[in-house]
Amino acid sequence: MTVREIFVPATITDLTVIDPSEIRNIELTLPQEYEIDGKVYPVIDEMRPGTAFLAKPFGARTGRQRRRMYTRSNPSINAKGVLQTIINDTHAEKADTSVWWQTADVTAFQSAGETIPVLLNLTPDGTALAPYEHCSSIENSNLRLEPDDEWPTMRFLGIALSTGITPFLAHIRHMKALNFGRNSVCAGGYYRVVVSVKNHRQLMAHEELQEMVAEWPQNFAYHPVLTREWPDDWSHGTGRIMNIGEQQNGKQRISLEPLLEIVPNILNEHVRLCGSKEVCRQLTEGLAQAGLQPRSFRAEAW
Ligand SMILES: Cc1cc2nc3c(=O)[nH]c(=O)nc-3n(C[C@H](O)[C@H](O)[C@H](O)COP(=O)(O)OP(=O)(O)OC[C@H]3O[C@@H](n4cnc5c(N)ncnc54)[C@H](O)[C@@H]3O)c2cc1C
């Protein structure tokens, strides 16, 4: 039996440019209810931090609507039905939708009130619609956040390459909304996030994360690292977080030294990584070459 897919029209409510032609904040707002075959269903939103929704933007190369997944960067806990994400131009040979999102076409689309279809599912009891989530359980290959009664006793190290920061923003913002799990008997969860981007223009949520460090020093740390260019007064990290060399046998030697300078005790951390397939492979191999086994390791590659 073919399951009928339910795409609902989402309004584009934000298209803030982070780095012109390269990175944009996107916000899609879902309708509060939606009618199917004469029946009106409420739209509910319990998306778990770290999961992705599915939308149908246009492709700049193909001129057609394409199905693409985007990790939500804001938590559903305090923004029901408002799906935020951050999208970059991948510059890949076949890049299509990632280019369209950076163009004036999408701004014109927004001004004209055009909508973007977003996939929703009927809830198991059939009474409401909820955003599709790309993963429904915790696996080593996804970044769905641990349950709210687990993470308050965990220490996380989130390593984000460029827009790979999106799942970590959802994690951190969700935890902050719950006071990082701090109460009279529990010191709460600890989240250290290391973000690697090319230059300061590409820093995402930079001020917000700095403010969070000032407000929650016992539960949160933020280490932005610029790989290609940095302002004279830049006081954070520079260069690559891993160094790639060659071994005598021709295989790659992956040194995690720059990362370990930021995080001396990686063995104590639940390491989470979001980036390209290649970066995920390199970090996994770098840990193995150094004989380092963190408390747990989960990585998602796009
Ligand atoms: C779970 C998940 C979460 C994601 N979250 C985000 C996010 O938060 N932010 C973000 O920017 N991106 C995210 N992505 C990536 C996003 O979905 C898109 O893949 C990305 O934006 C690139 O889209 P694109 O249309 O430009 O190119 P692509 O998706 O790379 O595809 C372009 C076209 O080329 C085709 N193609 C690609 N490679 C080949 C090949 N080798 N041979 C033949 N045809 C090929 C594809 O089939 C497609 O038709 C996520 C992906 C996943 C799976």
68 CA → ligand 1 middle, Å: 7
Do 74 and 16 share a domain, yes or no?
yes
The chain-wide mean pLDDT, for the chain, equals 96
The CATH code of the domain that includes 28 is 2.40.30.10
Do 120 and 190 share a domain, yes or no?
no
Over residues 162-174, the pLDDT tens digits come to 999 999 999 999 9
The CATH code of the domain that includes 198 is 3.40.50.80
CA of 97, closest atom in ligand 1: 25
Which pLDDT band, with edges at 50, 70 and 90, does 279 fall under?
very high
Question: Of 79, 103, 131, which marks where a domain is finished?
Answer: 131
| Torsion over CA: 197, 200, 204, 208 (sign) | positive
Q: Specify the DSSP element, H or E, that contains 110.
A: helix 104-111
The SS3 assignment for 215 reads: helix
Q: Mean per-residue pLDDT for 12-34?
A: 97
199 CA → ligand 1 middle, Å: 23
The domain in which residue 277 lies consists of 151-301
Q: Mean per-residue pLDDT for 4-31?
A: 97
Question: Of 73, 96, 131, which marks where a domain is finished?
Answer: 131
Q: What angle do CA 71, 73, 79 make, to 5 degrees?
A: 120
Q: Mean per-residue pLDDT for 223-246?
A: 95
**CA–CA distance, 224 with 200 (Å, rounded to integer):** 9
Which pLDDT band, with edges at 50, 70 and 90, does 178 fall under?
very high
Examine residue 146 and state whether it is found in any structural domain, yes or no.
no
Q: Mean per-residue pLDDT for 235-244?
A: 95
**CA–CA distance, 101 with 15 (Å, rounded to integer):** 9
* Ligand 1 atom 2 nearest Cα: 69
Do 179 and 225 share a domain, yes or no?
yes
Residue 85 near ligand 1, beta carbon < 6 Å: yes
Over residues 186-234, the pLDDT tens digits come to 999 999 999 999 999 999 999 999 999 999 999 999 999 999 999 999 9
Residue 1, pLDDT score: 65
Examine residue 138 and state whether it is found in any structural domain, yes or no.
no
Residue 245 CB-density burial (10 A; 0-12 exposed, 13-18 middle, 19+ buried): exposed
Residue 169 near ligand 1, beta carbon < 6 Å: no
Residue 19 near ligand 1, beta carbon < 6 Å: no
Do 173 and 123 share a domain, yes or no?
no
- Helices 166-177 and 206-215, interaxial angle, to 10°? 40
56 CA → ligand 1 middle, Å: 12
Which residue did the predictor score with more confidence, 63 or 1? Answer: 63
Examine residue 1 and state whether it is found in any structural domain, yes or no.
no
244 CA → ligand 1 middle, Å: 26
Do 155 and 183 share a domain, yes or no?
yes
**CA–CA distance, 116 with 127 (Å, rounded to integer):** 24
Whether the predicted pLDDT of 144 surpasses 90: yes
Residue 142 near ligand 1, beta carbon < 6 Å: no
Nearest Cα residue to 191 out of 166, 155, 159, 218? 155
Residue 91 near ligand 1, beta carbon < 6 Å: no
Whether the predicted pLDDT of 247 surpasses 90: no
Do 124 and 171 share a domain, yes or no?
no
Residue 68 near ligand 1, beta carbon < 6 Å: yes
Examine residue 13 and state whether it is found in any structural domain, yes or no.
yes
Q: How many structural domains compose the chain?
A: 2
How many beta carbons lie within 10 A of that of residue 121, not counting itself? 14
Do 270 and 235 share a domain, yes or no?
yes
